Amino acid sequence: MPLSATWINKKKAEDNEQSISLERGSSCYLVIAKKPYKSKRFIGLTSIGSESNKKYKVSLGVWGKDFTSPNEVLKKWDEMKTWGKENNCDLRNYGKRLNLQTEEKTLKEVIELYLQWKSGHVKQSTHTTVKNRLNQILLYLPDGILVDEFSGGKGRRFILEKVCARSIANDSPYQAHRHRRELNQVFNWALDEGLLEEDQVPSRLGDPYPFEKNIKSNPHPHLTWDEFRKDFIPTLNANPCNASRLTDLTTKAVLLMLTRVSAVVSMQWDWYDDKTNCWIIPSDTKGLKRKMGDDKNDHYIPHTLQLNALMNNLRAINGDQKYVFFSPNQGNHPYVSSQTPNDHLINLKFQHKQDAHGFRHVATNALVDVAGYERDMVSRCLGHLKNDGSIGHYDFAKRLDKRKEIHECWNQLLITEGLRL
């Protein structure tokens, strides 16, 4: 007996991809994946039509989209095997025989289809980020490359040589890793949609790529607290590269507020709430990394004495503007680029040593190891959400009071070590 539809519907994805035989003795499998997004699809394993007599995987379709019954899957698999044996053909050509794909698709067309699908599943800001990254990747690619050309390991070599090599040459292996990861999501989606076969998906032909073996899971460089207070703070104060006052204050605001850069630079003056004495960052703000449709998890940043002093300096520059970090020369938005603090740190000669996102790591280490706060509460100050459901008003107020204490401690630590605002 094959697996039941009820069992398949209830079966949850685990951290690692699962491959489960649809029926004992069959060569048909249910594949359940959690990343890059949850999916349940079917594959067949066969050597029919293989010149080397080696077994290969064949995509059959997606549960809930192509099939609603296990028997439908087995019936299709039997039909495909019969056709392959009668014609001595590779079963991966079965779809073309039935003219299910009217024409071969280019990688660019597949990416465009993926972006259309993605737009309905993520926030607009996330979709824009993914689109920009993929458009950058497309600049590296020759026109008209067909996804059919990716079989047998060619796709893996293509990604390595055409997409990753440029970033590696620019001493940015993490950028190459991010490009590879972004394309991997496209390919996995295309596999589920029947636009690619298993052997055309580069990530399924060996992992990791050679350049990824030494990439750390955390790509954001950061100093130890001791290095930070002795070397970084004096250099930031000295401003030897003569950065503008706005750039200087933007960088220091990111440092004080412990929030992701893209959320900080988009702040508006009316986000300050005098009832809580906090800056309230709306949940849909780029950089908070909230799920699409989440309108209940705004991020509160306590307005400390040190932050108040910094904001007064910013009001002297942009007090008559809508945005706290208003800058008229940014093209797509009227505020400072999220790259500005990182560029400033590079000019201060801290490239590969400290970046703006890495401020959060420095603060975490100082607040936990030096000040003795619980890591969980520090994590909440950074804007991380915990899977503890909704919390009551009293509990929220209690936690906010503790977060205010932690922010005040961090800001005072910086001032004590000599940071000038």
Least confident residue range of 46-60, 269-283, 341-355: 46-60
Question: ∠ CA 62-66-72 to the nearest 5 degrees?
Answer: 105
Could you read off the pLDDT of 5-44 as tens digits, one per residue? 999 998 888 878 888 999 887 899 998 887 666 788 888 8
Taking a C-beta distance cutoff of 8 angstroms, is the pair 61, 67 a contact? yes
Could you read off the pLDDT of 390-409 as tens digits, one per residue? 344 445 555 889 999 999 99
% of residues, the chain, pLDDT over 90: 37
Q: How many CB atoms lie within 10 A of CB 73?
A: 27
Comparing 220 with 275, the larger pLDDT belongs to 275
Q: Please give the Cα distance from 383 to 311 (Å, whole number).
A: 21
Least confident residue range of 263-267, 383-387, 412-416: 383-387
Pure H helices in 37-123: 70-87, 94-97, 107-118
Reported as a pLDDT band with limits 50, 70 and 90, residue 320 is: very high
Give the CA diameter of the chain.
Answer: 81
Assigned superfamily of 225-416:
Intergrase catalytic core (1.10.443.10)
DSSP string, 267-307: -BGGGEETTTTEEEE-TTSTTS-PPTT--S--EEEE--HHH
The candidate with the shortest Cα–Cα distance to 55, out of 46, 64, 63, is 46
% of residues, the chain, pLDDT over 70: 80
What is each CA distance from 168 to 133, 163, 394, 415, in whole angstroms? 16, 9, 51, 39
- DSSP single-letter state for residue 369: I
Q: Please give the Cα distance from 382 to 371 (Å, whole number).
A: 16
Comparing 273 with 34, the larger pLDDT belongs to 273
User: What's the pLDDT score for residue 209?
Assistant: 54
Helix (H) or strand (E) holding 129: helix 124-139
User: What's the pLDDT score for residue 97?
Assistant: 52
User: What's the pLDDT score for residue 102?
Assistant: 40
User: What's the pLDDT score for residue 164?
Assistant: 67
Q: Please give the Cα distance from 393 to 156 (Å, whole number).
A: 52
Taking a C-beta distance cutoff of 8 angstroms, is the pair 327, 254 a contact? no
User: What's the pLDDT score for residue 203?
Assistant: 61
Could you read off the pLDDT of 137-181 as tens digits, one per residue? 887 777 777 776 676 556 666 666 666 666 655 556 667 777 777
* Predicted TM-score (pTM) of this structure: 0.62
Looking at residues 345-352, what average pLDDT do you find? 92
Reported as a pLDDT band with limits 50, 70 and 90, residue 388 is: very low
Domain locations in the chain? Answer: 5-97, 107-212, 225-416
Q: What is the dihedral of CA 120, 125, 129, 130, to 10 degrees?
A: -10
State which of 157-171, 263-277, 379-393 shows the largest mean pLDDT.
263-277
Q: How many CB atoms lie within 10 A of CB 227?
A: 13
Q: Please give the Cα distance from 200 to 190 (Å, whole number).
A: 10
User: What's the pLDDT score for residue 165?
Assistant: 64
338 contact partners, CB below 8 Å, separation of at least 6: 261, 262, 265, 287
The candidate with the shortest Cα–Cα distance to 184, out of 130, 144, 143, is 130
The candidate with the shortest Cα–Cα distance to 333, out of 128, 135, 123, 121, is 128
Token pair for 150: 């990716």
CATH architecture of 5-97: 2-Layer Sandwich (3.30)
- Report phi then psi at 209, rounded to 5: -65, 150
User: What's the pLDDT score for residue 341?
Assistant: 95
CATH code: domain 107-212 is 1.10.150.130
User: What's the pLDDT score for residue 394?
Assistant: 43
Could you read off the pLDDT of 208-217 as tens digits, one per residue? 555 555 555 4
Could you read off the pLDDT of 98-131 as tens digits, one per residue? 444 445 678 888 888 888 888 877 777 778 888 8
Could you read off the pLDDT of 46-97 as tens digits, one per residue? 888 877 778 888 888 888 888 889 899 899 899 888 888 888 888 877 765 5
Cα of 91 vs its chain's centroid, Å? 35
